[in-house]
């Protein structure tokens, strides 16, 4: 059975790069009818935040990335880690190191002066004497002194590390007894039954150390897939300005879960030329062997395009519920269908869509000056008065076509082009020159509001 995991550290909120590796891990487990597990790596008590841990879980709920089983919190597993520390000490595979911080700093300075790689020199590796007083020891593992460590990577192929170049006897427990990152990761992946690890290639340098832990404890080594980073348009590391922000900020900006996940699955993975994937298609088609070996480029325009696609294809009842987060209560609005149909083709985000709704349903309190100068000149007020009279006299006005018919009558009777009524009327209704179809706007706001807005613009600018 394929078992994958996502294991964030709650020192900050879930960001877009972390979400992508979580998505890849989730899809690969689901494709293989396996398990996708969630582990919170909160052993760094000084930097951890419960709010950040809760935010990660909330982001998963919003996106629909359901995990299997209970969430594992590393902070609750100290006794487990201590047991494995004792095992390695008893088996002679780890040892207590009494080198003080001052000695270690002096050693590094000497190595740097000699242009050598800075590393622990193994002083206490086979120590049998009397420990120095006043030094709380760290625990170091006995790493291989020579030979090779091979990482079998599903993205990059086999990667060979020379032990003497990358390893020293690294610390697996600090002086206060707390275990280190690489140690607990290897133990938890084993105990949770993880068979494949999909993560960013910034973790690649940790992998040889984790393999040393696996082998020292006699654990099976999972298959690794190290995913290249996401870069900005300039090919540099993604920053908050580029989009590397809290995942929940994307919800606030008005992106849908479907669009965000579709966008992320195509950042570094492909299936032919297909761009739009349903959730079922992602689960069916994803395979880490098709992850690109080069970094992917974050493109906001692509995300906006995908989001607009999903907005256009979302039923209006669902859109109305999504817009509630912006204070819009449209579920029981009698013109909900006309209103949402009028703007869903124009909006890139739900937030923009909400703004467009407010522009329609709110009486203008400000008129764009350039629009006024362009549209409210010549016989504009005569045209508006004529149209207002038509509305007042009409018996039945419900559908956009009803209002369009009245506009056509004014055009025909006054012998003018449609722009002669369209431009001044648009300024009257919306306060600017852009917006959805005027007939739809009037059908949404109704007869009385339409007449009020016409009267307002005439009173203020005639």
Please state the residue numbers annotated as binding site. 240
Tokens of 302: 């692509």
CA-to-CA distance for 180 and 78, rounded, in angstroms? 11
The contacts of residue 13 (CB under 8 Å, 6+ apart) are: 52, 55, 56, 59, 246, 247, 248
Number of neighbours of residue 239 by Cβ within 10 angstroms? 11
Mind giving me the DSSP string for 70-103? PPEEGGG-HHHHHHHHHHHHHTTSEEEE---HHH
Indicate the helix (H) or strand (E) that contains 242.
none
CA distances from residue 61 to 24, 150, 160, 346, 389 in whole angstroms, order as listed: 16, 37, 39, 28, 54
Nearest alpha carbon to residue 310 among 266, 356, 262: 262
CA-to-CA distance for 253 and 221, rounded, in angstroms? 41
Tokens of 74: 């590393």
Annotated binding site for ATP: 240
Number of neighbours of residue 298 by Cβ within 10 angstroms? 21
Tokens of 39: 């582990």
441 with 453: CB under 8 angstroms?
A: no
CA-to-CA distance for 246 and 75, rounded, in angstroms? 23
CA-to-CA distance for 167 and 108, rounded, in angstroms? 15
Which are the catalytic amino acids?
240
């Amino acid at each position: 059975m394929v078992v994958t995991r996502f294991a964030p550290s709650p020192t900050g909120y879930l960001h877009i790069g972390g979400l992508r590796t979580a998505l890849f891990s989730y899809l690969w487990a689901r494709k293989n009818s396996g398990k996708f597990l969630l582990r919170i790596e909160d052993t760094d008590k000084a930097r951890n935040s419960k709010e950040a841990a809760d935010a990660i879980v909330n982001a998963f709920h919003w996106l629909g990335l359901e995990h299997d089983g209970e969430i594992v919190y590393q902070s609750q597993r100290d006794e487990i880690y201590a047991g494995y520390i004792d095992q390695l000490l008893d088996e002679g595979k780890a040892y207590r190191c009494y080198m003080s911080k001052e000695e270690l700093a002096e050693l590094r300075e000497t190595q740097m002066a000699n242009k050598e790689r800075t590393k622990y020199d193994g002083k206490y590796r086979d120590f049998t004497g009397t420990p120095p007083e006043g030094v709380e020891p760290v625990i170091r593992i006995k790493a291989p002194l020579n030979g090779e460590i091979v990482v079998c990577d599903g993205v990059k192929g086999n990667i060979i590390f020379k032990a003497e170049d990358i390893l020293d006897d690294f610390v697996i427990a600090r002086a206060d007894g707390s275990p280190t990152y690489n140690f607990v990761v290897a133990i938890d992946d084993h105990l949770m039954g993880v068979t494949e690890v999909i993560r960013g290639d910034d973790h690649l340098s940790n992998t040889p150390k984790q393999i040393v832990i696996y082998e020292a404890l006699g654990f099976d080594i999972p298959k690794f897939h190290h995913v290249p980073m996401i870069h900005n348009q300039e090919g540099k590391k993604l920053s908050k300005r580029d989009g590397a922000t809290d995942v929940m900020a994307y919800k606030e900006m008005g992106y849908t879960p479907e669009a965000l996940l579709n966008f992320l699955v195509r950042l570094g993975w492909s299936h032919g030329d297909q761009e739009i994937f349903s959730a079922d298609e992602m689960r069916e088609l994803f395979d880490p062997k098709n992850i690109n070996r080069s970094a992917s480029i974050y493109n906001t325009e692509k995300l906006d395009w995908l989001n607009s696609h999903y907005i256009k294809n979302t039923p209006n009842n669902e859109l109305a519920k999504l817009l509630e987060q912006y204070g819009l209560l449209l579920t029981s609005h009698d013109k909900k269908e006309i209103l949402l149909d009028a703007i869903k083709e124009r909006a890139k985000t739900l937030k923009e869509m909400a703004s467009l709704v407010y522009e329609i349903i709110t009486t203008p309190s400000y008129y764009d000056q350039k629009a006024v100068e362009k549209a409210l000149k010549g016989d504009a007020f005569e045209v508006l008065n004529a149209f207002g009279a038509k509305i007042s006299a009409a018996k039945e006005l419900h559908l956009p076509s009803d209002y369009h018919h009245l506009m056509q009558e004014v055009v025909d009777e006054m012998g003018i082009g449609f722009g002669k009524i369209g431009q001044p009327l648009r300024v009257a209704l919306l306060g600017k020159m852009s917006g959805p179809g005027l007939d739809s706007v009037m059908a949404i706001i109704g007869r009385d509001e339409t007449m009020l807005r016409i009267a307002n613009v005439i009173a203020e600018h005639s």
